[in-house]
Amino acid sequence: KNQVEQSPQSLIILEGKNCTLQCNYTVSPFSNLRWYKQDTGRGPVSLTIMTFSENTKSNGRYTATLDADTKQSSLHITASQLSDSASYICVVSHSGGSNYKLTFGKGTLLTVNP
Amino acid sequence: NAGVTQTPKFQVLKTGQSMTLQCAQDMNHEYMSWYRQDPGMGLRLIHYSVGAGITDQGEVPNGYNVSRSTTEDFPLRLLSAAPSQTSVYFCASSFGGNTIYFGEGSWLTVV
C-alpha cells in the first residue's frame, strides 16, 4: 500500500530558528516528491518538486532533500519567520508522474512564535 | 492571471440537498482535479479530468459527479448531500506532471 508518513505531527519554534521536517514514503514506482505549504484557511502552495535523480532542491529559505534509497525526504527551513507558520505537506507521485497518482501525507503543523 | 478560482467559499447544506462547487482555471491546464481534506487525513482525490470531455474517478468518488465541457471549468456536483460530505474541498489544475495549482478551498457543512 502506498503511504506517506510525516513527522513530527506538529512543531513549535522561535522566530529565527531553523527546523527540519521529515517525510518517509513507501510508494512504488516512485516518480517525484513534492513539498507544499498550506496556510490556515488557504489552498496548498508548491515549494519544491524533486525527481529520483535530485538530492537537493532549494526555494529561498526552504531546502528539500531526497534519499531515494532510504525513501526519505526532509524539508529544512532556515531562519524561520512568523509567516512560516503553516502546515507542510509531503506528496509523492507514482506511476509515471501523472498528477492523478499522488499520495499525500497528513502534514506537519509548524508554529513560529516571536 | 487568476489561477484556480473556486466558488462558493462557504456553504451550509441540509441533508439531501444538492449543490455544485464551481472551479475555473485560466492557465489552459489540461489536468484538473477535486480533492477533499478532512481533519487528521491527507488530501484525497475525488474525481479528475485529463482534458475536456474526459473524467475519471479518484479514491473517494461516491456521492459526487463531475463533468468537463471546457478546458477552463470543472464543476463538482453533490447530488444528495450527506453529513459525511462535510469537508473542505480543493480544486486543482496542472499541465503534465508539473506543479499543481490549488484553489483557495470551499468549506462545506452538511447538517
Query: Which pLDDT does position A99 carry in this prediction?
Result: 60
Query: Which pLDDT does position A27 carry in this prediction?
Result: 85
Flag whether pLDDT at B55 surpasses 70: yes
Any CB–CB contact under 8 A between B56 and chain A? yes
Three cell numbers at B19?
A: 449543490
Q: How confident is the model at residue A5 (pLDDT cuts 50, 70, 90)?
A: very high
Instruction: Name the minimum distance, in Å, from the CA of A69 to any CA of chain B.
Output: 22
Mean pLDDT of B88-100: 90
Chain B, residues 6-45, CB within 8 A of chain A, namely: 31, 33, 40-45
Residues B71, B28: contact at Cβ < 8 Å? yes
Q: What mean pLDDT is reported for chain A?
A: 93
Mean pLDDT of A31-36: 93
3-state secondary structure of A15: coil
Query: Which chain B residues are closer than 8 Å to A44 by Cβ?
Result: 43, 90, 102
Q: Which of A25-29, A64-68, B83-87 has the lowest mean pLDDT?
A: A25-29
Query: Which chain B residues are closer than 8 Å to A107 by Cβ?
Result: 42
Flag whether pLDDT at B18 surpasses 70: yes
Q: Rounded distance, CA B32 to CA B13, Å?
A: 25
Q: How confident is the model at residue A98 (pLDDT cuts 50, 70, 90)?
A: low
Query: Which pLDDT does position A96 carry in this prediction?
Result: 57
Q: Rounded distance, CA A33 to CA A53, Å?
A: 11
Kind of pairing between the strands at A108-113 and A10-14: parallel
Look at residues A90, A83, A69, A113 and name the one whose alpha carbon lies nearest to residue A20.
A90
Mean pLDDT of A46-65: 94
| Residue B73 DSSP label | B
Look at residues B3, B49, B6, B7 and name the one whose alpha carbon lies nearest to residue B26.
B3
Residues, chain A, total? 114
| Residue B17 DSSP label | -
Q: Rounded distance, CA B103 to CA B7, Å?
A: 9
Percent of chain A with pLDDT over 90: 80
Chain A, residues 33-62, CB within 8 A of chain B, namely: 34, 41-46, 49
Q: Rounded distance, CA A91 to CA A107, Å?
A: 9
Any CB–CB contact under 8 A between B97 and chain A? yes
Instruction: Tell me which of B14 and A30 has the higher pLDDT.
Output: B14
- Cross-chain CB nearest to A100 (options B43, B48, B98): B48
Any CB–CB contact under 8 A between A64 and chain B? no
Q: How confident is the model at residue B31 (pLDDT cuts 50, 70, 90)?
A: very high
Instruction: Name the minimum distance, in Å, from the CA of A103 to any CA of chain B.
Output: 8
Flag whether pLDDT at A63 surpasses 70: yes
Flag whether pLDDT at A94 surpasses 90: no
> Cell numbers 503534465 correspond to what residue?
B96
* Beta carbons of B97 and A89 less than 8 Å apart: no
* Beta carbons of A45 and B104 less than 8 Å apart: no
> Cell numbers 535523480 correspond to what residue?
A53
Mean pLDDT of A4-29: 96
Query: Which chain A residues are closer than 8 Å to B100 by Cβ?
Result: 34, 46, 99
